[in-house]
Amino acid sequence: MKPRNLFGLVLGSIGVVYGDIGTSPLYAFREALKPVAADGLTRGEVISLVSLMFWTLTIIVTFKYVLFLLRADNDGEGGTLSLLALLMKTANGHAAVLTLLGLVGAALFLGDSMITPALSVLSAVEGIKLVTPSLSPYIVPISVVILAMLFAIQSHGTGAVARFFGPIMALWFLVMGVAGLSHIADDLSILAAFNPWYAITFLMHEGFFGVIVLGAVFLTVTGAEALYADLGHFGRSPIQTAWFALVFPSLTLCYLGQGALVLSEPLTMSNPFYLLFPQWALLPAVLLATAATIIASQSVITGAFSLTRQAIHLGFLPRMEILFTSETNTGQIFLPSVNTVLFFGVIFLVISFQTSDALAIAYGISVTGAMVVTSIMAFEFVRARWNWSLPAAIAVLTPLVALELVFLGANLVKIHDGGYVPILIATAFTLIMWTWRRGTRILTEKTRHTDIPLQAFVSSIERKSEHSPASVPGTAIFLTSDPESAPAALLHNLKHNHVLHDKNVILTIRTTNKPRVSQEHRYTVEKISDRFSRVELRFGFMEAQNVSQALAALRKTGLKFDIMSTSFYLGRRKLVPDAKSGMPQWQDRLFIALANAAADPSDYFRLPANRVVELGSHVII
């Protein structure tokens, strides 16, 4: 990779990948100090907290994500669902467990996508209190306005704005690092935090109280999942370079500076981050922090769009409208329905919790839960893909899973103080995805009983007789999920219109477990008879499923047709609830509601709107 290209990708990763973790210093150390300071703050406790934060960043972010998980990629793509798609290729008898883990991990990430914008923007805007105390009552309204504007611009795409993300976040990390470095000399004993013994002895002596503190300490690594999820956007080397060259040193200096400041002036524990800055620099710091939190929020919103698209293509969610906001970068997408759900969820959290202090309590569960899921799936990955022995996998990953479970337990202690919110959000998303997966499987099994084998159908229809349907010119393309059976739309067309086109294509669209499919593997064409052909189009789970564009390439195979004289036939099912469907009644109705809300297939597959014919049928499920 050329140095210039590497620099651009490193700068871009600073803006997108590290936006969330880069805003943690706004509130993490402050929240960790609160339970410790309840009975008076000692020097050893401050040093121990900074030590805990440093080693949490080192073990979880540096070792787990930057050095280990970034190598567990699916053809260059990362993230929970990408890892699930890879593992499903070699799943032996425990596909259901892996699927459930993948769904839970994805649901926790979506919950994080709601909490992160609310917490980040609130914590930044609260700095106004230090500049102008009279504006304190307006913190929540200002935060709501900023968030409303953020979600409003999503439909215009992030391409133009993204060019500024990297430089702004790079400036943010530099400012944080310099601000922290300028205060380390306030009390040089804070450098003892590099000794892990302070962190270990603190936990050994504090017992259950230490576990509570760990819940706040974990806020230092919020956003670490973005490292893995955004792997495909930037690549391993730029993300690693950004971490070691700028992000990790800046975070370390900032936490050391906050610790030294509190050691020298204990009263600054009320807001140690903003009090790192002199009075003249406070307003610029608040403005820069607000910009950084908006970028961090943008990052998780974009991540939610990408994850939802993966979930749709992998069959975990119904089709949704996906708009592409860039002519060159297919990764820049906008999902109106997801944007709406996230917006109302974020605004509800801001209005309900009012302060970043209250919201920080609820934050850790979704993050730690997602990390535990990823670590468990990584155990399966190293066994199946890297051929690690069982003892080696246990030796490397068990301590990491155990540590993350301790952090998860520390956060679960706070359920009654608001920790139930991310659990409810993740549960709702998991139920939706599980219901769709289960419902589509039941629907497929039910319709299969009435299906007619395609080969037998073609043989019978090709026999010339007085009952043969009339032949009409042109090409008819019938979309179906089962290429071995005659499509329902084809049977309904014969039943009601009594015609058959000169050329008939049975088209199946498959989503592979790979992020992208090369052009030579895009399609398979099989000629069944003079009038019938079977075509399979394959797309990766990160690709736009543009069927019209893909069909244009089929002309090279000898399958000649004019797209504007071709009719696309789609079967539309009207689902009717059935008490004997195999699902509880509530789940049955939820599945039907999801199916009714699904995007129109002609729009989703980019079919010519004036060439689509839909034929409906009733299915009891």
Task: Summarize pLDDT for 174-188 with one digit per residue, the tens.
Answer: 999 999 999 999 999
Q: Are residues 478 and 428 in the same domain?
A: no
Structure tokens at 118: 């609310």
- Tens-digit pLDDT profile for residues 206-261: 777 777 788 888 889 887 887 888 787 778 888 999 999 999 999 999 999 999 99
Q: Do residues 101 and 221 share a domain? A: yes
Q: Give the model's pLDDT for residue 93.
A: 64
| Alpha carbons 338 and 342: distance in angstroms, whole number | 6
Measured CA angle at 458 (ends 453, 464), to 5 deg: 140
In a domain? residue 444: no
Looking at the structure, tell me whether residues 412 and 533 fall in a common domain.
Answer: no
Same domain, 454 and 381: no
Dist. CA 359–CA 80, nearest whole Å? 25
| 382 and 513 inside one domain | no
Q: Which of 376, 406, 438 is the last residue of a domain?
A: 438
What is the rounded average pLDDT of the residues 457-484? 83
Residues in a beta bridge with 77:
74
Backbone φ, ψ for residue 596 (5° rounding): -70, -30
State how many domains the chain has: 2
The verdict on 191 and 66 lying in the same domain is yes
Do residues 479 and 410 both lie within one domain?
Answer: no
On whether both 401 and 492 belong to a single domain, the answer is: no
pLDDT band per the 50, 70, 90 thresholds, residue 55: very high
For 523, the enclosing helix (H) or strand (E) is strand 523-527
In this structure, the answer to whether residues 409 and 457 fall within a common structural domain is no
Among the candidates 405, 438, 471, a domain finishes at 438
582's tokens:
């195999």
Burial class (CB in 10 A: 0-12, 13-18, 19+), 42: exposed
Q: Are 161 and 226 within one domain?
A: yes
CATH of the domain at 41: 1.20.1740.10
568 lies in a domain? Answer: yes
Per-residue three-class SS string for 67-88: HHHHHCCECCECCHHHHHHHHC
Count how many residues are written for the chain: 621
Q: Do 431 and 455 reside in the same domain of the chain?
A: no
How do 566-576 and 612-620 pair as beta strands? Answer: parallel
pLDDT band at 60 (very low <50, low <70, confident <90, very high): very high
Within-domain flag for 471:
yes
| pLDDT tens sequence across 420-469 | 888 888 899 999 999 998 888 888 777 776 678 888 888 888 776 666 78
Residue recorded with tokens 């004993």: 189
Rounded alpha-carbon distances, angstroms, from residue 477 to 384, 480, 493, 501, 618: 40, 10, 12, 10, 22
- 7-18: b or e for each residue (b if 16 or more CB lie within 10 Å)? eebbbbbbbbbb
Query: Residues 383, 146: contact at Cβ < 8 Å?
Result: no
> Within 13 Å and on the Cβ side, how many CA atoms surround 249?
11
Whether residue 488 contacts residue 571, with contact meaning beta carbons closer than 8 Å, is answered with yes
Main-chain dihedrals φ then ψ at residue 42, nearest 5 degrees: -105, 160
Q: What whole-number distance in Å separates Cα of residue 292 and Cα of residue 23?
A: 7
Give whole-number Cα distances, 621 to 59, 577, 584, in Å. Answer: 49, 5, 11
Of 408, 438, 468, the one marking the end of a domain is 438
404 and 485 belong to one structural domain: no
Confidence of residue 3 (pLDDT cuts 50, 70, 90): low
Judged against a pLDDT cut of 60, whether residue 148 lies above it is answered with yes
Q: Is 616 a domain residue?
A: yes
Query: Please, which pLDDT band fits residue 313 given cuts at 50, 70 and 90?
Result: confident
List the structure tokens of 102.
């993948």
Residue 288 lies in a domain: yes
Q: What is the mean pLDDT of residues 491-495?
A: 85
How confident is the model at residue 92, as a pLDDT?
Answer: 66
Tokens of 185: 């000399």
DSSP 347-391: HHHHHHH-SHHHHHHHHHHHHHHHHHHHHHHHHHHHHHTS---HH
CA pair distance 12, 469, nearest whole angstrom = 60
Mean pLDDT of the chain: 85
Domain contains 398: yes
Residue 100 lies in a domain: yes
pLDDT band at 158 (very low <50, low <70, confident <90, very high): low
Residues 563 and 554 sit within 8 Å (Cβ to Cβ): no
Residue 39 is predicted with a pLDDT of: 73
pLDDT band per the 50, 70, 90 thresholds, residue 595? confident
Range of the domain at 534: 450-620
Beta strands at 323-324 and 532-539: parallel, antiparallel or unpaired: unpaired
3-state SS record for 90-133: CCCCCHHHHHHHHHHHHHHHHHHHHHHHHHHHHHHHCCHHHHCH
Residue 443 lies in a domain: no
Strand, helix or coil for residue 612: strand
List the single range of 93-102, 323-332, 454-463, 567-576 with lowest mean pLDDT: 323-332
Higher pLDDT: 449 or 414? It is: 414
Q: Which of 300, 404, 324, 342 is nearest to 18 (CA)?
A: 300
Phi then psi for residue 409, to 5 deg, are -60, -40
